[in-house]
Amino acid sequence: MKLFTKYNRVNITATIFVFVIGSIGFYLVLHYVLVKQLDDSLRAEQQEITGFVTQHNELPFIQNTRHQWIEIKPSAAPAIAARPHTVFLYNAREDESEPVRQLVFPIKANGAFYTVTVNKSETETEELLKLIILVTVSMIFLTLLFNYFINRRLIRRLWQPFYNTIAAIRDYRLQQPLKLRHEPIEEIGLLNDSLNAMTERINRDYLALRSLTENASHEMQTPLAVIHLKVESLLQTMERDERSVQQLMAIEDATQKLSKLHQSLLLLTKLENRQFLPNEQVNLTAVIQSWLEEKREMLGSKNIGLIVDCDQVVLPFHQHLAEILVGNLLNNAIRYTPAGGSIKITLSTKQLVITNSAANGSLDTEKLFQRFYKAGDSTEGTGLGLAIVQEICLLAGFHISYHYTASKHAFTIRFS
């Protein structure tokens, strides 16, 4: 949800709540004032009638109107005066009951007692009240509408520097520093200055780390190559002493493993530093087929059955990373598939699934993609293959998952 939408929802909800409470209070106060005016009018009529009877000792001439009428009826004894109250009387003209404000009081004229009932219709009051409420509600609606559009334009303009900052952060790359201009709005200016300083430090650290990685790569490869050449030279020139040959072969194996480990760690560092950009169109089907051609003899030597169901899939990716991704997954599949087992490769535009027979049950899903994890007591490989696969998937925006079912390992890579 966007910040503007969130603000508008809270603002409009709070405004409506305040207006509703205010409207209810306004209605009650207005109703009280209008009814009080009717009551004052009833008491004024009472004073006029009482004053006329006191002065002339006779009943006054009554002239009724549509909204006010007075009834004077003889009574055996003085009636008890009542306070003004509301009753509902039938209106023959409108054919409906309507609210009437009524005041009852006694008078005495010519030695006789009478009960006077003064009635004032509340219809006009109700209509006036409805009109006022209608005008009030209309004003509230117009105020909300006006407030919404004003806020929409104003807030968008005020927050535009913030959105510019967000866009710049979204497009930020380690290879180039982030340069945000200082904004006159204090909070946005402080944010931009802090981000500029932070990304400058990140950029310096990144350049230092990349330089260290490149230097380490160059400096380590040289002695490893020298060791490899010396061992090969010794193997060719020395006397055939079986024990010495075994020791030299062990050195050769350790050197090769160290070289692979160094290359894998270097690749992981480059992946974490985002030194690869998935900006090529890669034919993943061709990558898989090429790898299978290279490993056909190895598959045959272990008598591994191979099932391939691949659609023609081309993805925005990185050619070298695609080869590493496929190679690591399929190398693991061959390594951990028992002799006589099977491997199935399924490729579609949505996902890549590699399934292979399992020899020792499920893998540890919590440690599976950690560095240097090896299944069981295996000493083969560097233990970095799946960690590299996961980093490649993160870089490309893929999602990798593992599950074990029916004595088979299954790795699934979803492309979106």
DSSP for 202-251? HHHHHHHHHHHHHHHHHHHHHHHHHHHHHHHHHHHHS---HHHHHHHHHH
Query: Residues 89-103: what's their mean pLDDT?
Result: 79
Collapsed DSSP state (helix, strand, coil) of residue 283:
strand
Q: What is the rounded average pLDDT of the residues 291-311?
A: 86
Please write the tens of the pLDDT for every residue from 360-416. 778 877 787 887 777 655 556 667 778 888 888 888 889 999 998 888 899 999 987
Who has greater pLDDT, 282 or 218? 282
Q: Average the pLDDT over 302-309 and give the result.
A: 88
Q: Is 408 exposed, middle or buried (0-12, 13-18, 19+ CB in 10 A)?
A: middle
- Over residues 240-268, the pLDDT tens digits come to 667 777 777 777 777 777 776 667 667 76
Fold of 280-414: Heat Shock Protein 90 (3.30.565)
Q: Rounded to an integer, what distance in angstroms lies between the CA atom of residue 201 and that of residue 166?
A: 19
Mean pLDDT of 269-290: 80
Collapsing DSSP states into helix, strand and coil, what is residue 110?
Answer: coil
Could you tell me the end-to-end alpha-carbon distance of the chain, in angstroms, rounded to an integer? 22
Tell whether the model's pLDDT for residue 168 goes beyond 80.
Answer: yes
Mean pLDDT of 309-319: 89
3-state helix, strand, coil in the chain (%, to 5): 55, 20, 25
Q: What is the mean pLDDT of the chain?
A: 82
Q: What angle in degrees, to the nearest 10, is found between the helix axes of 3-56 and 123-170?
A: 170
pTM (2 d.p.): 0.49
pLDDT confidence of 15, banded at 50, 70, 90?
confident
Domain ranges of the chain: 3-143, 186-272, 280-414
Residue 2 scores a pLDDT above 90:
no
Interstrand relation of 342-347 and 351-357 (parallel, antiparallel or unpaired) = antiparallel
- 255 and 232 in contact (C-beta within 8 Å)? no
Judge contact between 69 and 101, C-beta under 8 A.
Answer: no
pLDDT band at 171 (very low <50, low <70, confident <90, very high): confident
> CA 196 to CA 179: how far, in whole Å?
6
> What pLDDT score does 355 carry?
92
Residues 97-112: tens digit of each pLDDT: 888 889 998 888 888 8
Residue 286's pLDDT is: 92
Strand partners, 401: 412
- 185-244: per-residue pLDDT in tens? 888 888 888 888 888 888 887 777 777 766 766 666 677 777 777 777 777 776 666 777
Give the pLDDT of residue 261: 67
Q: What is the pLDDT of residue 335?
A: 84
Note the pLDDT of residue 353.
93
Distance CA 26, CA 253 (A): 91
Task: Quote the tokens at residue 299.
Answer: 């598959």
Q: Is the per-residue pLDDT at 94 higher than 80? A: no
**Mean pLDDT value across residues 75-99:** 78
* Spatial separation of the C-alpha atoms in residues 235 and 246, rounded to whole Å: 10
Pairing of strands 342-347, 305-310: parallel
Q: Cα–Cα distance between 157 and 161 in angstroms, integer? A: 8
